Structure 1
């Protein structure tokens, strides 16, 4: 199912109730991934999405540790939430799961997954949420750039560093390439996906 098809099936309507519509879209996406787990495999994915409404309202949602960072007047602001197992330990335990915290490792759901929310991951789904964090942000003349990226970037660069490193790069695609190359240069060992949006 494409993003367009998911948006078309969303109830309620995105324009009148954006948050509920996005929550429904994330739920639909997760169910489709789980339905196709035989084809896609048992793994899963984090996600971050951003939709610009009427040119002045940004609706951002995420599951896991994929992150959205916006810059206004050169100041970075994180719009998403990193869904870490330690922060959601009680919810995970209430569902019958556990959070491991072994020396030298990060906290993990059932000793396996380093995020508390994700699409897919069928074997962990009983203890794992795909409910997104959703937030709206006003877009004004001070808004310069939006960065959407997976944890491969954020493990080696903080929000302000990322914004600073692309402030003089005018082309959005070139800015995204610069960030991915910088993450590789810093020896990132996680998946690196990055989209940059420049506001005029």
Structure 2
């Protein structure tokens, strides 16, 4: 997701190199899994990130790790899609989950803890704007507790989709300017839609909620949508991805592409490759989390 920038084309050879992971910066890819125990179900994950063709440095960052807290095993996963630089998504990568887990009510009320941490983290980013610059970032975060409970939160248009019985269900909310036009106008901003372009806040930003963006903050929100669900035998996997994937693929199409791929790293790579073949030019970041 980005503000307005000149687009650059790509030759067929260049696209082939991109799909193969050749040329330009190397893709970031990997996988891992949690340890299972009598009180935890095993969780495995894979990720794959590819730089886009937008003429700027990679601005997508991810988190995919496991931590043990109070005899619980936590899977922490996130996609941060930056704009106007990578400082804000880098800050989120280093700090957001720590801030969530340090909330005193995290174990009793995860929803409130996540909302509070999103707000406090955004406040810190704005206070550090001299160091972090004028840019911002979307976020979609997922916290898996003992392989049995999942908490998803997001601001912006990076998305979380769950697959149950091979059917896709979106867990996050795309915070698009046209859907929040009344709030933006009430806060003194405006939404423009120029021919051939997407709706933008004050003609600049293509999302209505984000971290950072000091110059637009009076019209933006950092309020996350939060969803908690129980993981059961029908829950197969979750896809977290930046809009570089979702611009060219529906939720069900993404699920159908990888529903039979058991290796989550191979699944994440397959999704990014498919997005490239569909001519996505944005940075593409994807995490696939498998259960059981």
Counterpart of 1:2 in structure 2 is 95
| Residue 276 (structure 2) pairs with residue 184 (structure 1) | yes
The structure, 1 or 2, with the larger RCO (C-alpha pairs under 8 Å, 6+ apart) is 2
Q: Which consecutive unaligned segments of at least 5 residues does structure 2 have?
A: 1-93
Q: Residue 89 of structure 1: CA displacement?
A: 0.5
In 2, distance between residues paired with 1:8 and 1:146?
A: 21
Give the structure-1-normalised TM-score: 0.94
- Within 1, Cα distance between the matches of 2:131 and 2:261? 40
Cα shift at 1:14: 1.0
Query: Which residue in the other structure is 2:182 paired with?
Result: 90
Residues 155 and 4 from structure 1, CA distance in 2 versus in 1: closer, same or farther, beyond 3 angstroms? closer
Q: Select the structure that is richer in helix.
A: 1
Distance in 1, Cα, partners of 2:98 & 2:226: 20
Question: Counterpart in 2 of 1:24?
Answer: 116
CA distance in 2, matches of 1:100, 1:191: 24
SS in 1 for 2:144: strand
Alignment partner, residue 119 of structure 1: 211
How far the C-alpha of 1:21 sits from its partner, in A, is 0.1
After TM superposition, give the deviation of residue 173 of structure 1 in Å.
1.4
Q: How far apart are 1:189 and its partner, in Å?
A: 2.0
CA displacement 1:54-107 (0-9 Å, x = unmatched): 432211100000000000010000000100101101110111111112222111
RMSD: 1.4
CA distance in 1, matches of 2:180, 2:249: 24
Q: Which moved more, 1:95-104 or 1:25-34?
A: 25-34
Does the Cα contact within 8 Å between 2:96 and 2:118 map onto a contact in 1?
Answer: no
Runs of 4+ in 1 over 3 A off after TM superposition: none
The correspondence of residues 29-178 of structure 1 with structure 2, limited to 5 A, is: 29-178=121-270
Q: Distance in 1 between matches of 2:164 and 2:280?
A: 27
Q: Distance in 1 between matches of 2:166 and 2:234?
A: 9
Distance 2:131 2:115 in 1: 25
- Structure 1 unmatched ranges of 5 or more: none
Residues of 1 paired with 2:236 and 2:101: CA distance? 30
Equivalent position SS for 1:70? strand
> What CA distance in whole angstroms lies between the structure 2 residues aligned with 1:4 and 1:147?
19
TM-score if structure 2 supplies the norm length? 0.65
The number of equivalent residue pairs is 199
How much has 1:8 moved relative to structure 2? Answer: 4.2
Give the number of the structure whose residues are more often strand, by fraction.
2
